Amino acid sequence: MTEARRRPGPKRALTQDDVLDAALRLMDADGPVAASIRRIAGELGVTPNAVYTYFADKAAIEQALVERLLGEVNAAAPATGGWRADLELLAVEIRARLVAHPGAVPLFLSGAMNGPQALLLGERLLDRLSAAGLDRAAGARGAYLIMVYVLGAIALEVADQPHAGVLPPEAERIAARAAAWGEVPADRFPRTAAATDVMATWIGTDQYLWGLRRLLDSFAGLRS
């Protein structure tokens, strides 16, 4: 083998996506506090200054991650023509992204969602609620209510897991809750003990859709 063949090739240039990928990996493993500039740089094998080339600070990285995840939601949830189906699909896609990346959930609760993808999602909510017959004011209130439900339900689902990191499969998490609820003393809390089979599923898809559909039911014919 010649000396030229033994010489390593040039390193691939760092990109914004590389930085965001590294930040998301760290959040998936250890939660949102793990994605510091220094740890992201270490994950990528570069100096912190290389990360600062693309993002001014950690807050800028967090906002870019929110935009990326919402962009995936917008791309994966095309309009179908039916307002209920469209709103349900958007809500399901948001949950899918955040349950897959629980470390990113606090980013949606602590910062302003005002980037292009966030605005596009909001515009889609308003458009679908207009198609449902809501006027301007009721549509704006309804869009906020949907996001409160969606993000609140997801935040509680993620918080149910005591350790940072990727969530176990849903069936496994529900089984663990059922075992824990099974310890409730029926003599002191009879109604709770009688409902533990349902309460164990509060963190699951069925509960999420049940609440979402009841919410969408309330929009039929609503006015401000």
d(CA 83, CA 125): 9
Whether the per-residue pLDDT at 6 is higher than 70: the answer is: no
Mean of pLDDT values over 77-103 = 93
d(CA 109, CA 31): 14
Mean of pLDDT values over 29-36 = 88
What residue ranges define each of the domains in the chain, with the CATH number in brackets? 57-221 (1.10.357.10)
Q: Is the distance from CB of 196 to CB of 178 less than 8 angstroms?
A: yes
pLDDT of residue 221: 65
pLDDT in tens, 48-77: 999 999 999 999 999 999 999 999 999 998
Cα-Cα end-to-end distance for the chain: 77
More confident residue, 3 or 148: 148
Mean of pLDDT values over 29-40 = 91
Whether the per-residue pLDDT at 102 is higher than 60: the answer is: yes
pLDDT of residue 11: 53
Percent of the chain whose predicted confidence (pLDDT) is above 70: 92
pTM for the model: 0.88
CA 65 to chain centre: 10
Per the prediction, the chain carries an average pLDDT of 91
Whether the per-residue pLDDT at 162 is higher than 90: the answer is: no
pLDDT of residue 160: 85
Rg, C-alpha atoms of the chain: 22
pLDDT in tens, 185-219: 999 999 999 999 999 999 999 999 999 999 999 98
Whether the per-residue pLDDT at 90 is higher than 60: the answer is: yes
> Could you tell me the pLDDT band of residue 3, with boundaries at 50, 70 and 90?
very low
pLDDT of residue 80: 84
pLDDT of residue 10: 43
Q: Is the distance from CB of 28 to CB of 103 less than 8 angstroms?
A: yes
